Amino acid sequence: MRSITHFIGGETSPGGHRKGQIFAPTIGEVQAEVQLGDTSVLARAVDSAKAAQPAWAAMNPQRRARVMFNYKALLEKHMDELAELLASEHGKVVADARGDIQRGLDVVEFACGVPHLMKGEYTEGAGPGIDVYSLRQPLGVCAGITPFNFPAMIPLWMLAPAIACGNAFILKPSERDPSVPVRLAELLIEAGLPAGVLNVVHGDKEVVDAILDHPDIKAVSFVGSSDIAQYVYGRGAAAGKRMQCMGGAKNHGIVMPDADMDQAVADILGAAYGSAGERCMALPVVVPVGDATAEALRDKLVTEIEKLRVGVSTDPEAHYGPVVSAQHKARIEDYIRMAAEEGSEIVIDGRGFALQGYEDGYFLAPTLIDHVKPDMKSYQDEIFGPVLQILRAATFDEALSYPTRHQYGNGVALFTRNGDFAREFAQKVEVGMVGINVPIPVPVSYYSFGGWKRSGFGDLNQYGMDGIRFYTRTKTVTQRWPSGGAVLDQSFVIPTMR
């Protein structure tokens, strides 16, 4: 059986006394095992990173950028290999796996501009003979803890800006699908990264806590559920680390009466059911405004949902594949049952679906639920599966209130032809990422990704300029060069530049 080990010091590195199972979601069988590290494995990774980081940081930024350019080319060259490997462990269809890699590759491309991104500021003559300038400097050793649902994109969101800025990086990927993160590390070494600058350590809570407690790790980026994000943020911040923790979501799509209904339905289907709904930027709640809009939307959704194809990851005709594990499938089914018990109408029930020839796979057909109420737990919680809920609103203001009042604030979308509605919505909604006729408003790589409320803990978002700020610290230098050897008068008052 294939065994996946840690990657430390530029090579595979066994360690840890426990192992985890990696399942093939399409058939429900174990396909590989992963070594789960412990504090001693993490300590080796930190030692390797500490040894390699000073020389990497001292390298001029254009040479670090060249490594990123090489890395970009290698990711493009190995796209098919990475996508197939990713799909085999996660279950998403290969086309979606390519998108996973491409969105991470976009951030690598952004990181190629690090010589410009790390430039400081300079003021000549800020005071009599005094100049002031600022420097951006790397933090040292940083770490990233990433989830199962994007095993390429989210690691690349973290490691690309961190390493380009001159840091060393320790990646703790999900133990459910760890093969792609290791392959990403191997390709970065091939691109010219010195051994030790990037290390991959597999593990569960033991390794996570070791990362949060280790005094030589200066910053930690995390993506996962909100409860864990809050725990990670609190423990890491208490240890004096810079923290960036992204949590869960319950994204809403508001459909106005004037929306292009055919386009809205097409957008909603992809956003709700793509990747089996296992996205923090999925759109699991649709909010039609007015009864006529709700009925028209429901009818079109039913018609189009019946056309969706659930299949294995290698099926080019499949819209989405299985969910990641048997436990997660059972959790989603529990939420569907809960929604019915709370009084919602199960319009289309995806439970009980079996794909011919793959009956043991973790498949769920698309589920559509209507007449959802805001006090229902099935609405308040993140389901993270191929389940779309309809929450009806009578007015625009009522529809606006639902995402604004929800505990999560990751993404939201408004479907309308009315610019006044769109402008007011974008200004007032209390959500971090807003789409206007865009169902999955993940920002491009030169902006930043981050949610509000329980969707994000910490002051700086991922990638873009926030990513550069997160992985660097600013040093400001005030300098004076007295001329003629004259000694200035003593002063016992706070200095000013007047």
CATH of the domain at 199: 3.40.605.10
* Strand partners for 172: 145
| 302 and 235, same domain (yes or no) | no
Mean pLDDT by 10 residues, the chain (498 residues): 95 93 96 97 98 98 98 98 97 97 98 96 91 97 97 98 98 97 98 98 97 98 97 98 97 98 97 97 98 98 98 96 97 98 98 96 98 98 98 98 98 97 97 97 96 96 97 96 69 73
| 78 and 45, same domain (yes or no) | yes
Predicted pLDDT of residue 486: 64
Does the active-site annotation cover 280?
Answer: yes
| 242 and 340, same domain (yes or no) | no
| 327 and 256, same domain (yes or no) | yes
Predicted pLDDT of residue 482: 75
Range of the domain at 315: 252-436
H/E stretch holding 334: helix 326-341
**In 148-290, which residue ranges form alpha helices assigned H by DSSP?**
153-164, 179-190, 205-213, 226-238, 261-273
| 320 and 257, same domain (yes or no) | yes
Q: Is 494 a domain residue?
A: no
Distances (CA, A) of 122 to 130, 134, 135: 11, 7, 9
Strand-pair category, 141-145 with 168-172: parallel
Predicted pLDDT of residue 163: 98
Cα 30 to Cα 403: distance, rounded to the nearest angstrom: 39
Q: Is 337 a domain residue?
A: yes
Strand-pair category, 452-453 with 2-4: unpaired
H/E stretch holding 81: helix 79-90
| 357 and 263, same domain (yes or no) | yes
| 333 and 223, same domain (yes or no) | no
Predicted pLDDT of residue 498: 66
Cα 297 to Cα 92: distance, rounded to the nearest angstrom: 27
Q: Is 448 a domain residue?
A: no
Q: Is 441 a domain residue?
A: no
Q: Is 97 a domain residue?
A: yes
| 150 and 103, same domain (yes or no) | yes
Cα 61 to Cα 180: distance, rounded to the nearest angstrom: 27
| 280 and 299, same domain (yes or no) | yes
Tell me how many domains the chain contains.
Answer: 2
| 242 and 266, same domain (yes or no) | no
| 428 and 467, same domain (yes or no) | no
Q: What is the pTM of this model?
A: 0.95
Q: Which residue has the tokens 């959704």?
A: 301
Q: Is 471 a domain residue?
A: yes
**In 177-217, which residue ranges form alpha helices assigned H by DSSP?**
179-190, 205-213
Q: Is 485 a domain residue?
A: no
| 201 and 315, same domain (yes or no) | no
Give me the count of residues in the chain: 498
Q: Is 486 a domain residue?
A: no
- Kindly report the CATH number assigned to the domain that includes residue 395: 3.40.309.10
Cα 3 to Cα 46: distance, rounded to the nearest angstrom: 23
